[in-house]
A = this chain, B = another copy of it.
Amino acid sequence: MQLTRHTDYSLRVLMYLASHDNELVSISRLSDAYKVSNNHMVKVVHNLVKIGYLKSVRGRNGGVQLTHSPEKILIGNAIQDIENQPKIINCSSINCILEKQCILENTLISAQKTFYQQLNKTSLADISSNKNELRSLLKKA
């Protein structure tokens, strides 16, 4: 069980923006900081705009910023939104013969719920509370 690279970068974009208050940040600054290609970062940011976590401001001094305050963004919800509510196991996509009688699926779904509930005890503000340290690391990148 591992977060996808896409989710991982999405969370780090949120942390970047949370540690830079309400500043507008360009995609190239984000991709430079995390040493990821501009193309990849465009996809990550595009999805975060689409799901309503970021807003994009055009123009020479444009960039993206958070649409909600970091206190309101809970990590469990954010991961679910970023991944578009994926099933932990996709029984129908592989035509599993056991599907109609399977107890495993519900066991996994219920454990996945506790995972997100646990993550929802933490907000983006919590994981960006060391704002100065994060900014200083991001400046060095």
Q: Chain A interface residue count: which class?
A: 35 or more
Per the 8 Å Cβ criterion, residues 63-98 of A in contact with B are 75-76, 79, 83, 86-90, 94-98
Residues of chain B within 8 A (CB-CB) of A141 are 97
Bound-state CA distance A137–B83 (Å) is 32
Specify the chain B residue showing the minimal Cβ separation from A79. Answer: B1
Residues of chain B within 8 A (CB-CB) of A7 are 1
Q: Is the CB of A104 within 8 A of B86?
A: no
Q: Is the CB of A138 within 8 A of B98?
A: yes
Residues of chain B within 8 A (CB-CB) of A111 are 76, 115-116, 118-119
Residues of chain B within 8 A (CB-CB) of A122 are 107
Can you sample 8 A-B contacts with CB below 8 Å?
A2-B86, A12-B96, A33-B97, A98-B134, A100-B137, A107-B126, A107-B127, A111-B115
